[in-house]
Structure 1
């Protein structure tokens, strides 16, 4: 099928560009995900969308297209209380408190499915820590389903789950900018967990991603500005927390913890790795403890839909 008319609509410039419908977005991205897709069309579409900005409907269509490229998608149901944890940013300024919280959630009986990318230049990824603490890595959804039920936590890499999306995700160095493939990966929810915790870095994405999850019929998700773009709430100065529950979207607030603010400067990578492992093993700062507790509340909500006592709906 010739998708150039759809690309043309998106690429007409600041005042002439048009948004695609969910069905159109699914159609065009399904074509561009093919290994033999026209490289010029792919690059043009990614940059045009970057300039225009994605709508919730477009994101939902892109996610549907990517899911169609995952072997076994829809064939395996995660346990009812399982939580999807997409990790696509990595850390460089502070230890991985969200992973310490995820491990605690697993130990409390909440299954956690983690997906991301193995390597990000200048950062320590979720997998680089998880492999040090014995978390199993799988390459397909059949094995993920078994591991999630048996061990309570499993990691899968985007390169294995959806190599076609990973190929586009990995174009950032050549494009010079991040594309919507990053948001698509975060919304992928490969094993259809009922709950999702999703961090982002840029504020406008909160509403777009929540809207996309509604269209994708995600039962519940917590979408928030995360520390360094990972799914980690801040102890203080949390800017945006959006709760999506079925078709209803609300903004949440919670009390400040009174801890030191999140560090601004990058750490030595070896020291960061050591401190992250130490945090998982219980050696934790006051701020880290506050974050782990808050993330524990988030995991409990994502698993069961029960609102933490101190969390309030923003008026």
Structure 2
């Protein structure tokens, strides 16, 4: 048995590999909450040998983490790394995958501006070229728009309150996770850190909006938030996102919904053609994700487009309003979104973002 250390405990990563998680995808066991906590504490403290770190990360990728493990990782991250700054507003936390999108436009900045103009405050957060994909994310669209992104958490909270949309930058609000960027990059694949970093919730929001490829992952994420001890999320809305991002996928799309007090996570399907998105995912592809997304954002909010991008922005804005229960139905949200764009209020939010 490994000797306990004063700082951690009895479960160094090598022992966890040998006795719990490292025997293979079919035979590996799950860690209990205490083991998972200690593992991530050691990782954030830069304690493991690089070889053991890589082996542990791959073993967890192969066996797949359950909500108990993910909630433990999330709690350690929130306790030891995340610097929260809570705005006076009660925003929707938009947790898009930090490693970004490679092919299709990022519509969350535009959708967030529309939702904010309609009275639904929005928080977005990301890093910069996060492994493994290292593609464009919220930060890069905002940079193209001339919006400040290298903000301290308190500045981000002020942005939410003053503008209606606020951006939190991972190196400034989650420095411990940012410190392991290079090790993650050397892995060459996504790891559980890609999952839990989207749950950092730097604004302590009550509502989380996220995305998934398959419904079981949405259930896992929702149960992770329900079991986490360091945040009190009362409502979760997740949908099948394009490239795993928080832009709804055209076509028949599953939405998972949970509110505090519900015993189970509800799920339902929406047919996006019924909401104006009568096109294919390929129709949202662009040549330069960051630059083209910024141009699309400006043109949609100015009312200069009535194409598939404008329709997709309206639907995504409606989902954000619905997540916070500011509208009763997606149909109501869609009407509000289109009226908000037509009135010029959404463009004014973008102007405020650019001048913040």
Give the TM-score of the pair, scaled to structure 1.
Answer: 0.86
Match in the other structure for 1:255: 271
- Does the 8 Å CA contact 1:200/1:206 hold for their aligned counterparts? yes
Matched, 1:231 2:246: yes
Residues 35-83 of structure 1 show CA distances to partners (whole Å, capped at 9, x for unaligned) of: 344323322211110010010111111111111233544xx43445301
1: CA distance, partners of 2:117 / 2:212: 26
2: CA distance, partners of 1:3 / 1:163: 24
Matched, 1:286 2:307: yes
Match in the other structure for 1:161: 173
Q: Which of the residues 63, 77, 82 maps onto 2:91?
A: 82
Q: Which of the residues 50, 61, 86 maps onto 1:50?
A: 61
Superposition pairs for residues 1-315 of structure 1, below 5 Å? 1=8, 2-4=10-12, 5-8=15-18, 9-70=20-81, 72-73=83-84, 76-79=85-88, 81-87=90-96, 88-119=98-129, 123-168=135-180, 171-201=183-213, 203-216=215-228, 217-238=232-253, 240-246=254-260, 248=262, 249-257=265-273, 259-263=278-282, 267-269=286-288, 270-271=291-292, 273-304=294-325, 306-308=327-329
Residues 1-46 of structure 1 show CA distances to partners (whole Å, capped at 9, x for unaligned) of: 3423334311122343111223331221111111344323322211
Runs of 4+ with deviation above 4 angstroms: 270-273
Residues 98-153 of structure 1 show CA distances to partners (whole Å, capped at 9, x for unaligned) of: 22110111222322111112236674321111233354435433232223222222
Larger Rg: 2
Shift of 1:209: 0.5
Q: Structure 1 residues 264 and 101 mapped into 2: Cα distance closer, same or farther (>3 Å)?
A: closer
Unmatched segments (≥5 aa) in structure 1: none
1: CA distance, partners of 2:134 / 2:185: 14
Q: SS of 2:168's equivalent?
A: strand
- Does the 8 Å CA contact 1:129/1:277 hold for their aligned counterparts? no
Q: Structure 1 residues 256 and 40 mapped into 2: Cα distance closer, same or farther (>3 Å)?
A: same
Q: Structure 1 residues 86 and 304 mapped into 2: Cα distance closer, same or farther (>3 Å)?
A: same
Q: SS of 1:289's equivalent?
A: helix
RMSD over aligned Cα, in angstroms? 2.7
Unmatched segments (≥5 aa) in structure 2: 1-7, 333-356
2: CA distance, partners of 1:106 / 1:310: 18
Q: SS of 1:17's equivalent?
A: coil
Q: Structure 1 residues 271 and 14 mapped into 2: Cα distance closer, same or farther (>3 Å)?
A: closer
- Does the 8 Å CA contact 1:22/1:58 hold for their aligned counterparts? yes
Shift of 1:211: 0.9
Higher helix share: 2
Q: Which moved more, 1:17-26 or 1:189-198?
A: 17-26
Q: SS of 1:254's equivalent?
A: strand
1: CA distance, partners of 2:112 / 2:284: 25
Q: SS of 2:268's equivalent?
A: strand
Give the TM-score of the pair, scaled to structure 2.
Answer: 0.77
Q: SS of 2:35's equivalent?
A: helix
